[in-house]
Structure 1
Amino acid sequence: MSTSTSTSPTCACKGIRFCASCINSERVKNLTSENVNQNFTDYQTYVFNPADQKCYSSPNLSTNSSVTDIQKHSEWFQQQSPDALTNIESFRINGLLILDDFLSEEEEEKLVKDIELTPWALSQSGRRKQDYGPKVNFKHKKIKCERFIGVPEYADQLLKRMSEKSNGVLSSYQPFELCNLEYEPSRLSAIELHQDDMWIWGNRLISLNLLSDSVMTYENSELKKIVFVFMQRRFLLSMFDEARYQWRHGIFSHHIIGRRIALTMREPAKAFQVGGELYEKYGKELIERGNVRIPSVLN
């Protein structure tokens, strides 16, 4: 993809966000290094071990480490006995859940084919998206419900599987939004460290990792800690409670090693649920729309 500045970049980036198409544009060149690159040299680094749900000290890793290096650390921790890990510094992030092999290869192939029936739209940071959800003005806290006509029918299989494999932790999930995000190495696709909006979106965030392995990075500025979560293909990651509200999360562009589709879902915040102060104004209609299913063949 061209990075020439003589033509307008064919992307949707703005502000501090950039991709391969606009990285050499005047807008990005004028950004200070502080805007673009965060310095984590004074942070301690850890790797999440899904076997015991703990984050283990990994001082040899940094935010520049590759997916392969992080994968090796993750697999090493999983192979160790509890006694062998006793002397390694560790801690827990409450609300960080990984469901491995969430889909079979055949189920992934069918799901991706269904996803591909819908056209992709340009998004920021080198991504493309399919957005099934309301149009939200986060700054002014306003919502236009009309765009939200429902979620694809393949959501039902995923919701059922979430409830079954999570021992009920992800049961009774009411999607307020389903968004598919496509990442490509050639576009320098990424998502900056952030916290999802807390006004409209609720506690449990869902991300299903399709087509290639990757790494989700968690950052806590108060603790000065970075945690790498190796995400294998067909893994489902959910964050809630402490992981949702006390940590930022994101994916660096060098952790995109192949075409990746992230199927994400968000549920309503309490204010939009039954009995909440925004239920009658927005919640009731959005919940009704979230229970409509769109046949894949009609997308």
Structure 2
Amino acid sequence: MADSFASSLPCACKGIRFCASCLDSERVKKLNSENVNHNFDGYQTYVFNPANQRCYLTPNISTNSSVTDIQKQSDWLQQQSSDVLSNIESFQINGLLILENFLNENEEDKLVKEIEITPWVLSQSGRRKQDYGPKVNFKHKKVKCDRFIGVPEYADELLKKMNEKSNGILDSYQPFELCNLEYEPSRLSAIELHQDDMWIWGNRLISLNLLSDSVMTYENSEIKKIVFVFMQRRYLLSMFDDARYKWKHGIFSHHIINRRIALTMREPAKAFQLGGELYEKYGKELIERGNIRIPIL
């Protein structure tokens, strides 16, 4: 349950989103009465094994399972022989990549200290954010470049590591946006199951998990499958291809167990890249701004 301090904080939620501060509001009560939350009856549940990047059928795990439960199942899968795993129903999500221990402890500590220099602003679903990117009207497909003055200097070290550790998958990454999101259990922080916008953002999405273990949940309503990906702190997760375009992803509030920071990056969609129909209108300037580095003072 949220504490009294969290419930007294201002709130940025609207629509179907809510947090500890607005949980008892008339808007959220109406959402609950209309059963806005997804019903996962009939879904099969799987746990992701980072050792071989496959998802294994795990009937004893559900959307109510804890981070610890999912971690134990993930650890168990990694310890099993190929003979044992071959007897468990499994499949692979094309385009789901986990890089374990992307940062060491000292690198994480340094990065978090640099992130904390910038003030946080309220966001929806109990989160706070730092947004380095353009202002986008997704509905009307318009972009304002003015507020995008570049990305923080610490992005360069992360981009370098992505090149070195991803076997070419994340090479030549052009940040079109860098966004830091802070999650706190006392605020019921979460991110609903969703797909990132496909008009402006490109194929490879990046999420670096800092400060706390958590779980990313993937859902495919066409095949009625849910996959739980245990994310240890300092893991980097990338989703592209099928993971990006055929699956929704999100984080349930009960999978935020301590303060967590997610550093996310997005690249331009093809229409915004050189040769695309929106390159001259938006892409050229946004790419130029994405290559500017903001000093950490």
TM (norm. structure 2) is 0.97
Q: Which residue of 2 aligns with 1:173?
A: 173
- Residue 132 of structure 1 aligns to which amino acid in structure 2? Y
The alpha-carbon deviation at position 84 of structure 1 amounts to: 1.1
**1:210 maps onto 2:214 in alignment:** no
Q: Which residue of 2 aligns with 1:278?
A: 278
Q: Which residue of 2 aligns with 1:221?
A: 221
- Residue 246 of structure 2 aligns to which amino acid in structure 1? Q
- Contact 2:185-2:259 at 8 Å conserved across structures: yes
**1:191 maps onto 2:156 in alignment:** no
- Contact 1:4-1:24 at 8 Å conserved across structures: no
The alpha-carbon deviation at position 91 of structure 1 amounts to: 0.4
Q: Deviations over 1:148-188 (max 9, x none)?
A: 00000000000000010001100100000000000000000
Q: Which residue of 2 aligns with 1:60?
A: 60
**1:142 maps onto 2:142 in alignment:** yes
- Contact 2:6-2:186 at 8 Å conserved across structures: no
Q: Tell me how far apart the structure 2 counterparts of residues 152 and 221 of structure 1 sit (CA, whole Å).
A: 37
Q: Which residue of 2 aligns with 1:29?
A: 29
- Contact 1:185-1:257 at 8 Å conserved across structures: yes
The alpha-carbon deviation at position 37 of structure 1 amounts to: 2.2
The alpha-carbon deviation at position 14 of structure 1 amounts to: 0.3
The alpha-carbon deviation at position 32 of structure 1 amounts to: 3.7
Q: Which residue of 2 aligns with 1:293?
A: 293
Trace 1:1-299 onto structure 2 (pairs within 5 A). Answer: 1-2=3-4, 10-33=10-33, 35-297=35-297
Q: Tell me how far apart the structure 2 counterparts of residues 250 and 89 of structure 1 sit (CA, whole Å).
A: 24
The alpha-carbon deviation at position 41 of structure 1 amounts to: 2.2
Q: Deviations over 1:5-38 (max 9, x none)?
A: 9x8x611000010000000011111114455421
Structure 2 unaligned segments of length 5 or more: list them: none
Structure 1 unaligned segments of length 5 or more: list them: none
Q: Tell me how far apart the structure 2 counterparts of residues 116 and 32 of structure 1 sit (CA, whole Å).
A: 35
Aligned residues: 295
Q: Secondary structure at the match of 2:31?
A: coil
TM (norm. structure 1) is 0.96
- Contact 1:183-1:261 at 8 Å conserved across structures: yes
Q: Deviations over 1:172-227 (max 9, x none)?
A: 00000000000000000000000000000000000000000000000000000000
Q: Deviations over 1:98-136 (max 9, x none)?
A: 000000100000000000000000000000000000000
Computed over aligned residues only, the root mean square deviation of the Cα atoms, in angstroms, reads 1.4
- Residue 279 of structure 2 aligns to which amino acid in structure 1? Y
Misfit runs of 4+, over 2 Å: 1-5, 32-37
